[in-house]
């Protein structure tokens, strides 16, 4: 088996398993983490197909921004587990309706496309390992991004860092019943009143 086919099967299997775990888990934090895993596997599939730009844009936009935003919102709302008052069978009609809508849209797109023109008699397999020495579009975009637009790139990273620190500060729950030392009162007390002698009766 070629390494390309093996990686395609592996990433596809992991994507399917992780997507099932996203909709089946009751913990919202675990669902978001599996959603990040789905995005990483899909980005790996796009990289395997030769679409480097789409792959890294998926990592930067979805994993680096949207999925982290979902995780921050879940942490701020302090959602541990969803209430399972309703049964699983009550959600099946809604799932069937959504599936029929998506299937009708997909079948309409496939009906418009002319697949006969896309058919090739002699397929040429090109291994992405043999093309690793060539200059890709990611290298060209990275050269422009880190030279001409480096200030905007660093500024966007700083904004994301401030947003991350703000979300962490908002999610921290400080206890009010904890006894703490007051250093300013301890340093300002007088030496004469620090000791107290008591006569004990025998």
The percent of residues above 70 in pLDDT, for the chain, comes to 78
Domain with 26 in it: 3-135
Q: Residue 48 falls within a domain, yes or no? A: yes
Instruction: Determine the average pLDDT of the residues in 82-110.
Output: 77
| Inside any domain, residue 119 | yes
The per-residue pLDDT for 78 is 65
Domain count, the chain: 1
Q: Is residue 76 part of a domain?
A: yes
DSSP3 helix / strand / coil % (the chain, rounded to 5):
65, 0, 35
- Spatial contact of 39 and 63, defined as CB atoms under 8 Å apart: yes
Please check the confidence at residue 131 and state whether its pLDDT lies above 70: no
Give the pLDDT band (50/70/90) at residue 17: very high
């Amino acid at each position: 088996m070629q390494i390309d086919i093996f990686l395609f099967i592996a990433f596809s299997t992991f994507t399917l398993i992780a997507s099932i775990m996203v909709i089946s888990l009751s913990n919202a934090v675990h669902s978001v983490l599996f959603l990040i895993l789905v995005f990483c596997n899909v980005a790996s599939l796009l990289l395997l197909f030769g679409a480097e730009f789409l792959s890294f844009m998926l990592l930067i936009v979805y994993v680096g921004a949207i999925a982290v935003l979902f995780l921050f919102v879940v942490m701020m709302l302090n959602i541990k587990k969803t209430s399972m008052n309703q049964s699983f069978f009550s959600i099946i009609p809604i799932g069937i309706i959504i599936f029929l809508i998506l299937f009708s849209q997909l079948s309409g797109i496939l009906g418009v496309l002319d697949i006969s023109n896309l058919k090739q008699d002699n397929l040429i397999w090109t291994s992405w390992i043999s093309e690793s020495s060539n200059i890709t579009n990611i290298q060209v975009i990275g050269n422009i991004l880190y030279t001409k637009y480096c200030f905007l790139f660093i500024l966007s990273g700083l904004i994301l860092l401030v947003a991350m620190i703000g979300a962490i500060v908002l999610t921290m729950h400080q206890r009010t019943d904890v006894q703490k030392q007051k250093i300013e009162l301890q340093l300002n007390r007088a030496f004469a009143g620090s000791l107290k002698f008591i006569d004990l009766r025998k």
